[in-house]
Amino acid sequence: MKSLWNDAEAAQLSGPLGPRVYTSRLLGRDKSLVLHGGGNTSVKLREKNLFGEDEDVLYVKGSGWDLETIEAQGFAPVKLDYVRRLASLPALSDPQMVNELATHTLRAGAPAPSIETILHAILPHKYVDHTHADAVLSVSNSPDGEKRIRDIYGERAVVIPYLMAGFDLAAYCAREFPKQATRGTVGMVLLSHGVFSFAGDARESYELMIELVSLAEKYLAAQKAWSIGLPPSPAPAFKREEAAKLRHEVSRAAGFPLLCLCNDSPRFLGFARHPQVGRISQRGPATPDHVIRTKPLPMLGRDVAAFGKAYRDYFETNAKHAKEPKTILDPAPRMALDPELGLAAFGRSAKDTRIVEDLYEHTVEVILRAEALGGWQALEAKHIFDIEYWDLEQAKLKKGGSAPAFAGEVALVTGAASGIGKACAEAFLKRGAAVVGLDRNPAIETLFKRPDYLGVVCDLTSAAAISVAMDAAVKRFGGVDMLVLNAGIFPSSAPVQSIASDAWRSAMTVNVEASLLVMQAAHPLLKLAPRGGRVVVIGSRNVPAPGPGAAAYSASKAALNQLARVAALEWAKDGIRINTIHPDSVYDTALWTEEVLASRAKAYSMTVEQYKKRNLLKTEVASKDVAEMAAEMCGALFAKTTAAQVPVDGGTEKLV
């Protein structure tokens, strides 16, 4: 492991907290040290209070901040002397400890101090760094792990047996650290948890962390336990319906929709096919911080229903160990290992599934290295249960509040690169859904840069291309729950006798046949939607009230409307509801070029401005207006409605 220190970078962060911020970010950059909010750093500073008196302040990483991107305001300032005194108490519940830390934080609006604040306070050094280094965990979670750690570090590190983070751990360290520490001590290892480094200088503390972790890496290499290969594992053809069935069963067991990310990389497949996967994957997480998100259940053959039962059994077994089972909010496993899917990571959001994926990628390496040292050994089951049903963990879940309307669900929108389609993607993202956007425009891929969006370039007139897009959607998010059929074209205006055959065929192909192909591909997935499938068809006012010069467009939209009506009849038995929106006067879309707009206005003997507001309310209808209706049609308000046709057009005289 190499130091990432750069003098020029360090100089850009000034002020008392500048060095602390910089080295925290350096630690956060290395995923073998810190992942997704894990790890802690702190600095002790002497500052003057309002009375001009010197006061010792501990700045410790605040809850909710990630080391890789932390800012100065991400550190919570607490009264150092008071926090140190807490460690001398004979007992203190963790909720009480959190209260004391909160009431002795010196800045209003500061984040909640880390649960390990007291531990940082009792260490007699200005800078303290704490990581969950993969290499150190690999050694400590192997046979004779404590002895190995002591052999590696000698007097350079104090070694502490596993205790759950919180007051008891801090109080134990306050008693034990002075007994073990010598003048040569530069770190501390918490077995099955992580490693600390400390010094009077930010760079020195950071580079001591690099040195301590490097020693563990060198030890593993010397024991031939560093780079562990797995047999080649070529990925089989992805079976999206099986993946969707798995997600359906897990969501049913959890009691709410979950997204599912499938990763069939050679590493995950190789691990899922490991001859001892049933043993090594069930012994616990690499570190306690990962308990909630990396509790795997290997798949039981190819029987997803059996997996769902195992999932529910796991829930019930865990519940028996809780002090107050009725307060348990969400103890279910968040991942599965499968010989064909590789890793299946579950979560209520795409961010959650990515976190599970990242955490377990490192867990695999830790497990394999510990196995090479003689056998992977993680926390005892009782420790895992203690963490899972920890007062603070349950309080955190309760504090999370209600989930967004479409949390854990997936919306697929065709023609999503612009206009109504793009607005629909935004509307579903706003409501917490993961969104898959399909469009022939390459801009679809980068339309939104966020983990809950997947843009796929797709020729919607090709069944093969649609199948590839559906595979991508299911691999990333687990299924399709909501489908918005928006893609369409508006041929140039022409009277019936002058319609070109190519224009007619193009309108029918894009506006009708493409939607049919998407519906056919999506149907098996919509059947497996945890809350029932929903389809919204973006029709047109031209269906009930066609205008002159738009025969090809009107006929194609009418055909699409009939297709939706028949599908509503046939798919109701599958729990799928289908509703149609008939927009009009929506001019911020790709369909309405200046040429088309001028042509349509001329057909009505109007100016362009008159044509834009020719509805009863004399208003312009925007893409966002249609998108909001599409999203609502997929929500609770329309839960008992199917085959409806709703105008969003400002009022059309012909239809009143």
Catalytic residue numbers read: 553
Q: Are 333 and 284 in contact (CB under 8 A)?
A: no
Give 73: exposed, middle or buried? Use CB within 10 Å, 0-12, 13-18, 19+: middle
The full length of the chain comes to 656
Token readout for 519 is: 């519906």
Give the H or E element holding residue 150.
helix 145-153
Euclidean distance between CA atoms 289 and 388, whole angstroms: 10
In the block, tokens 């529910």 appear at: 312
- Give the end-to-end CA distance of the chain in Å, rounded to a whole number: 74
Chain Cα centroid distance, residue 521:
26
Cα–Cα nearest to 33, from 43, 23, 20: 23
Helix (H/G/I), strand (E/B), else coil: 432? coil
Q: Is 468 exposed, middle or buried (0-12, 13-18, 19+ CB in 10 A)?
A: middle
| Residue 52 Cα to chain centre, angstroms | 46
Residues 6+ apart with CB under 8 A from 234: 266, 269
Of all helices (H) and strands (E), which one includes residue 113?
A: none
Q: Let me know: does 111 contact 74? Beta carbons within 8 Å.
A: yes
Alpha-helical runs (H) found in 273-380? 277-280, 304-321, 350-372
Chain-centre distance of CA 193, in angstroms? 24
What is the CA angle 47-52-56, rounded to 5?
30
Residue type, 137: L
C-alpha separations of 152 from 136, 189, 198, 224 in Å? 10, 11, 18, 16
Hey, which residues does 453 pair with through a beta bridge?
435
Task: Confirm if 176 and 147 have CB atoms less than 8 A apart.
Answer: no
Coil, strand, or helix at residue 547? coil
**Which residues lie below 8 Å from residue 174, measured CB to CB, with a gap of 6+?**
87, 88, 118, 122
Whole-angstrom distance, CA of residue 614 vs CA of residue 637: 30
Q: How far apart are CA 123 and CA 574, in angstroms?
A: 62
CA 217 to chain centre: 30
How far apart (Å, rounded) are the C-alpha atoms in residues 400 and 408?
Answer: 15
User: How far is it, in rounded angstroms, from Cα 616 to Cα 330?
Assistant: 51
- Output the six-digit token pair for 510: 């894009």
DSSP state of 335: E
Nearest to 220 by CA among 377, 371, 103: 371
Identity of residue 258? L
Beta-carbon count within 10 A of 150 CB? 14
How far apart CA 465 and CA 349 sit, in angstroms, is 27
Alpha carbon of 297 to those of 127, 267, 303, 387, 601: distances in Å? 40, 18, 13, 18, 62
